[in-house]
Amino acid sequence: MNENFKLDIKQRPRRLRRSEAMLELCAETRVEASDLILPVFLKEGKSGAEKITSMPGVARHTIDSLLRLCESALNSGIRAIAPFPQVPTRLKSPNADEALNEKSLANRAISAVKRRFPEMLVAADIALDPYTSHGHDGILAPDGASILNDETVEVLSGMALMAARAGADIVAPSDMMDGRIGAIRAALDECDFQNTAIMAYSAKYASAFYGPFRDAIGSAPAQGKGGKKKYLDKRGYQLNPSNAREALREVLLDEQEGADIVMVKPAGPYLDIISKVKESTNLPVAAYQVSGEYAMIRAAADKGWIDLNRARNESLVAIKRAGADIILTYFAQDYIKNTRLG
């Protein structure tokens, strides 16, 4: 090798990659605590947190342990949570009657958080799957083969009102029924909740990545052969993973009906959709890094196959880089803790 050999070039992009400090200085995308919403799971009782086997590092919380979690989250800089209840089987019904109980687990948790930590934003999930005995996000038609759209929207509107009365800052319809954003906005406004925001799950895909979440909330699966678990087919209302233009149509409709924030779910497998949605709307764009995304990263890291911190950080930066203004992620606290440690 000729030691005197030098390329005669002026542009050397690697100058900006020479050190950790230079990399940070020139970073185009940053994920901050203020970008994150922490999804949390709820359960009845006073026994504290309970581990979720399919989601290592994530737990179901009773209301008392939820308050401790909120205190920890606020201390780390995270100022928003999205609670999801595990509804006892005895309270589930075909028509999701418990969803309209002002003293439901979810509503009691929202009230408790807002009393103790009024500065914590709470985004209430508005969907019926935790409350239905069949596990679908809506009311089944008499033949059991389809979801009744308008009847479901009526229940969702009442559920959103209950959450607003409990103190929710944001209601987040995740059901994918037609017309539900307009109906919920009208119901909120009529009852003087004009300041309650709507974060619409506008592009929620019929994804295979929701399995651990359904375990966490105890959503009823369909039973396969030999007792093997087989998750419900929700393609009759959630989006076809093959479709992109359909997502933009849904976003436009939700914007017209009064959504304040639109969302893409899942996040990682749908970075192209996040980017397209970002270009199509002036509303804030949220993306949900779902349970299956989280579980895959954790499982591979636990096996020693990938570096947990780097894979976690890269996945979140990719979502932000694609165009998400807001990210719902189970990694929220770990991400802030470990990035602060360098």
- Active site members: 204, 265
Cα–Cα dist 268/32, whole Å: 18
Number of Cβ within a 10 Å radius of residue 243: 14
Residue 121 CA: distances (Å) to CA of 72, 276, 278 = 14, 27, 23
Q: Are 287 and 207 in contact (CB under 8 A)?
A: no
What would the 3-class secondary structure string for the chain be?
CCCCCCCCCCCCHHHHHCCHHHHHHCCCCCCCHHHEEEEEEECCCCCCCEECCCCCCCEEECHHHHHHHHHHHHHHCCCEEEEEECCCHHHCECCCHHHHCCCCHHHHHHHHHHHHCCCCEEEEEECCCCCECCCCCCEECCCCCCEEHHHHHHHHHHHHHHHHHHCCCEEEECCCCCCHHHHHHHHHHHCCCCCCEEEEEEEEECCHHHHHHHHHHCCCCEECHHHCEECCCCCCCCECCCCCHHHHHHHHHHHHHCCCEEEEECCHHHHHHHHHHHHHCCCCEEEEECHHHHHHHHHHHHCCCCCHHHHHHHHHHHHHHHCCCEEEECCHHHHHHHHHCC
Q: How many CA atoms lie within 13 A of 305 on its CB side?
A: 6
